[in-house]
Amino acid sequence: MRLLSALALFVLLGLLFVRSYTVPPAPDRRGGTTVSLAWPNRPLFGSPRADCLATPESEPAIACLIASVNRARSAGIPLLSLGFCATCYDLSQRIALIGRDEAAAQARLAQIARFGW
């Protein structure tokens, strides 16, 4: 019983470090969902869009989006790369909106969507 409890605790501790991000397909890139091991400094279904919602509206979103994906790729150890997952994309967007001003966040998401993100 103790061995089973220790194994469950070890697995749960490891799951704290599992993160994913989803990049939608666009004409210039393949979309996909990547699951990686990384520090738990972003939500489980972290989104490049979530990192860019707080930036000033005058700042172009594309630079922030590219930098966010590059940070996610360089900070983690990839475990699994999957094709584009629309459910993961929608979930990451809902998580990105938690605790934010709905109208301002939706306006920023509309601006980000023009870049195909």
pLDDT tens column, 44-67: 777 777 778 878 878 888 888 888
CA atoms of 73 and 11, how far apart (whole Å)? 23
pLDDT score of 26 more than 80: no
Look at residue 12 in the predicted model and tell me its pLDDT: 81
* Residues 6 or more apart whose Cβ sits within 8 Å of residue 41: none
Look at residue 72 in the predicted model and tell me its pLDDT: 83
pLDDT tens track for 78-91: 888 888 888 888 88
Q: Which domain holds residue 97?
A: 1-114
Look at residue 109 in the predicted model and tell me its pLDDT: 83
Token pair listed for 6: 């220790």
Which spans in 1-117 are helix H?
A: 2-15, 48-52, 61-75, 86-97, 102-113
- pTM over cut 0.85: no
Look at residue 54 in the predicted model and tell me its pLDDT: 79
Q: What number is the average pLDDT over the span 8-26? A: 81
The SS3 call for residue 20 is: strand
Say what angle helices 86-97 and 102-113 make with each other, to 10 degrees.
140
CA atoms of 114 and 65, how far apart (whole Å)? 12
Look at residue 116 in the predicted model and tell me its pLDDT: 74
Work out how many domains the chain is built from and give that number: 1
Are residues 42 and 50 in contact, defined by beta-carbon separation less than 8 angstroms? yes
pLDDT score of 41 more than 80: no
